[in-house]
A and B are shown apart, each in its own frame.
Chain A
């Protein structure tokens, strides 16, 4: 194996490392004037990175480094989706990064975020549990720094502490589970493990423990308790990153491992997911009904969305994988649009994030209110927005595999979710308010990210070529 082979299959990661190094160097070298363009430079770099890696170059599966790192076209698509999400987060974070108390550590934000992205890429491509674990940690540790980015703010610091403690706990449990697997199979290579997996009691325990580690990242009930506190305390752009990119990466990785490694235990993990899905969707919905703070509200909404995402995973088919990637893409644009609006409002109104604050937003900021409305329609799955189609596909994927009751429960829950999603719209459009948030003009970077998200919400559902395009590669899994 020479360098050219590595470059052939690992080009995404290598390019990403290049971007990280560039960010580090720019942060070091650039003077006061150069820093003004930092944001533009980073967004351009990300754009180039995405443009260069968005479609898979190699059409066949391959593994390098003795099976540690696996390449498949669908992984490449997944990584592109994650990178696009990261770019959107970058775009909407500028107004926050421009504040005097974050401006000087702007470079750290980019480097930390991109490091987590790198970790996620490795996690998705892992062919060995050690690799997987390192990827996961690389995605977790910088994340806690990001959560505590506004470290002088009590909320942010508390959120960071809660996140890192929960993450440690989850990692510990996961490692414990992996060690059981090593004990029972004698190897940690995915391929070598499969014949040794037999569903013994110890392996079931190990699988559940392994699952908790990812369940924590995806924030599935009952491993979700950190979510609301962390989402609320973390700076809003970081929350948005946590709620889409981080969650999506873990969901992909979970699906890959379940299909590739735990195929012999399919009944067990399907039961496990069944319970977790019902719990996640229902419990999160029940909590979401009562939330007053929009960030907490979206935290619970994202937990219930995670439950829906798992519907695609439970099917365990290539079609499920396509639905998963598609769902995540659609969920990403909708959720980032919602968070984009929240960030814009928060930055321009001295940190208002409560539902009441949004009363009468349509009167003063009609465009933002409409973006928020469309994002929420898409999240709630109302046709003809993209969210409807993505929900349809995951329901179809699960239904095809015979999970009829489960799909029915999920459908019932969409009705409950409709109720609380509509609360936000009611606040913005109907509830009168004597002192609504004043009219403001958000910065161009935020506008651009909202515009991109909006295009996604409107177009992704109707352009069937997107789903078909993903589907083309999913069969290569």
Chain B
């Protein structure tokens, strides 16, 4: 399967070509090229998945882990070396399919969405760069390669969030995203270094004899790595960058900030899962609590946002919380004995990527039609945009967890895993699932039903998006409709053995009821043109409403801590010291260098006799010094 290297090389070449030619390439040519390349990559990924899973299990009942391509890049001696290569195992192959599918859809969609934008070529170049980095991240053969691509993903996300670089908010958002995730990545890097130091390798599966000697440092290293993952996956309190990242073009939000990059943290934990479960189960459970709190927090905030992309952003944070919880509640590697969460998490990652991308792309169509992100500009859009309406509804039903859509199946497994861990966790997550149904349908009704903003729509009649944009919607909607029936456990499970998914109808019935209740409340509150109940509640609990609308002032707390405490009390004095003492010393050195260079200027007189004297004098002087020492 050596051809898998092409999956990385093709998007990279496409990035180089489009990026270097830039405006010398016609926008259409750049877009077509990027899209065709991504299409080939998607085809290759499917073929890889087909032949990998089609290759069957080995004697131990596992899908063999394959490294079809590997190069030792930086040897440090011993087992410690950094490799660049391609690793195929069930989760990486699954991720290849997810990433290339969503990326391909986004490439097509962007034709319509970005039409006529300045920097169309640049946009496609960055998309290619992102695709390459994300694919490289999932097929990494070792933790360091993962880190390299991890950073590349961060950079491409930064570039794409700041795509509209003349817009102040976009610049601020891109910086925020970069700094926050970079800050978290510091934890990741330290974790990798500790890991490398104590296990003597960067491999995902180090020698078990060596691990024993790492003792307490292995959990520490894994915990630090999780901080990196929490940054990328927007876990509380490092989630603050994701809502702002919505300043980027909407297809980018769909690709990076919904389907692929933000689940990198989940993927990281899944990748390190054998180590977590074997040597640091406490750390794994901590991640579950972090994930659960994040899921709850983000769901509450999502209930009151008025910007549709922000609602989706918080919903993404909440759903990633679900995936992390699901991994975190695992208590063993056996899916029958408390290891169900691993499979559930990966399954949810897969289904979520599809329906969340669909939601974002749908939101993109709406924004394209009404030229605003605010719900107040929408309402009653169902008659103008039938395709968007139906596909959006499908995605909303899926995320709410309604049978037989894909979200139902994956969420059911997650809830089953949570109940297996502890009833409290199970009920909390069920409640959040209900909240999810509520806020998604609030969003749906506010966009497509409810009170229409007639003035705005008269001025500029909303229209259905062009085919390039609706085809990806339809495709993803079809996937969302049927993905739940994939026997996912046959491919991915915590110990690699085939796991036959069976629906736990007690859990399923509860979650269905809760979801239906959520939808019903949303219908009751938001379906009609006047929203007496909703407005009344908002007025009654105005304090809570305001706090939730302002995301519980987390950003303000950050502002306070960074500006008032760190900048004012630590950075300013250090800056003074730097300006006056460090720079002063350096300036003195510079001044001294300058003076010295004037002093010795005479040496270079241009007079060859004098050169001879220096030459001989130097030789004799050196001899004398050597004799004296």
Contacts and interface: CB of A to CB of B under 8 A. Distances in A.
A210 B615 CA distance: 13
B600 interface: yes
Nearest to A222: B618
A348 to B, nearest CB: 24
Contacts of B610: 225
Interface stretch (A115-123, A161-169, A436-444): A161-169
Contacts of A226: 608, 611
Contact of A212 (B596, B619, B627): B619
B74 interface: yes
B597 A205 contact: no
A95 to B, nearest CB: 26
Contacts of A205: 623
Interface stretch (A124-132, A242-250, A283-291): A283-291
A169 B614 CA distance: 12
B626 A464 contact: no
Interface in B589-619: 590, 593-594, 596-597, 600-601, 603-604, 606, 608, 610-612, 614-619
Interface in B45-81: 72-75
A290 B625 contact: no
B604 A464 contact: no
Contacts of A222: 614-615, 617-618
B613 to A, nearest CB: 10
A318 to B, nearest CB: 15
A152 to B, nearest CB: 21
A228 interface: yes
Nearest to B612: A169
B71 to A, nearest CB: 8
Interface stretch (A6-14, A81-89, A268-276): A268-276
Contacts of B619: 173, 208-209, 211-212, 223
A201 B610 CA distance: 27
B626 A268 contact: yes
Nearest to B622: A208
B618 A223 contact: yes
Contact of A271 (B74, B593, B626): B626
Nearest to B598: A290
Contacts of B74: 464
B629 interface: yes
Contacts of B601: 290
A119 B606 CA distance: 29
A222 B72 CA distance: 44
B625 A170 contact: no
A225 B596 contact: no
A416 B622 contact: no
A275 B606 contact: no
Contact of B597 (A169, A286, A464): A286
A468 interface: yes
B616 A173 contact: yes
Contacts of A290: 597, 601
Interface residues of B, number: 30
Given A208-B622, A208-B623, A162 B617 contact: no
Contacts of B73: 464
B618 A289 contact: no
Q: Main secondary structure on chain B at its contact with chain A? A: helix
B615 A170 contact: yes
B625 A468 contact: no
Contacts of A283: 600, 603
Contacts of A268: 626
Interface in A198-230: 201, 204-205, 208-209, 211-212, 216, 221-223, 225-226, 228-229
A205 B626 CA distance: 9
A289 B622 CA distance: 26
A384 to B, nearest CB: 12
Given A162-B608, A228-B604, A468-B75, A272 B626 contact: yes
Residue from A165, A208, A229 having most chain B Cβ neighbours under 10 A: A208
Given A165-B608, A286-B597, A290-B597, A275 B615 contact: no
Contacts of B612: 165-166, 169
Residue from A161, A204, A285 having most chain B Cβ neighbours under 10 A: A204
Contacts of B611: 162, 166, 225-226
Nearest to A267: B629
Nearest to B592: A286
A161 B615 CA distance: 17
Contacts of B622: 208, 211, 272, 275-276
Contact of B604 (A201, A204, A272, A287): A287
B615 A169 contact: yes
A204 B608 contact: no
B165 to A, nearest CB: 20
A416 B586 CA distance: 10
A393 B296 CA distance: 52
A212 B623 contact: no
A285 B594 CA distance: 10
A201 B603 CA distance: 29
Contact of B627 (A170, A201, A228, A285): A201
Contacts of B75: 464, 468
A221 B621 CA distance: 12
Contact of A289 (B594, B603, B617): B594
Nearest to B629: A271
B594 A204 contact: no
A299 B625 CA distance: 28
Contacts of B617: 222
A199 B616 CA distance: 21
B615 A225 contact: yes
A225 B614 contact: yes
Given A212-B619, A464-B75, A286 B614 contact: no
A226 B590 CA distance: 27
A148 B461 CA distance: 80
Nearest to B609: A165
Contacts of A223: 615, 618-619
Residue from B597, B600, B618 having most chain A Cβ neighbours under 10 A: B618
A271 B622 CA distance: 10
A216 B614 CA distance: 12
Contacts of A161: 608
A161 B604 CA distance: 16
A419 B73 CA distance: 32
A285 B597 CA distance: 9
B13 to A, nearest CB: 16
A254 B419 CA distance: 75
Contacts of A416: 593
B614 A204 contact: no
A240 B604 CA distance: 21
Residue from B72, B600, B604 having most chain A Cβ neighbours under 10 A: B604
A462 to B, nearest CB: 8
Interface string A155-180: 00000011001100110010000000
16 contacts: A166-B611, A208-B626, A209-B619, A211-B622, A212-B615, A216-B615, A222-B614, A223-B615, A223-B619, A226-B611, A271-B625, A272-B622, A286-B593, A286-B596, A287-B597, A287-B604
Given A169-B612, A204-B627, A208-B622, 5 more contacts: A162-B611, A169-B615, A211-B622, A223-B615, A228-B604
5 tightest CB-CB pairs across the interface, nearest first? A222-B618, A286-B597, A225-B611, A208-B623, A212-B619
Interface of B: 72-75, 590, 593-594, 596-597, 600-601, 603-604, 606, 608, 610-612, 614-619, 622-623, 625-627, 629
Interface of A: 161-162, 165-166, 169-170, 173, 201, 204-205, 208-209, 211-212, 216, 221-223, 225-226, 228-229, 268, 271-272, 275-276, 283, 285-287, 289-290, 416, 419, 464, 468
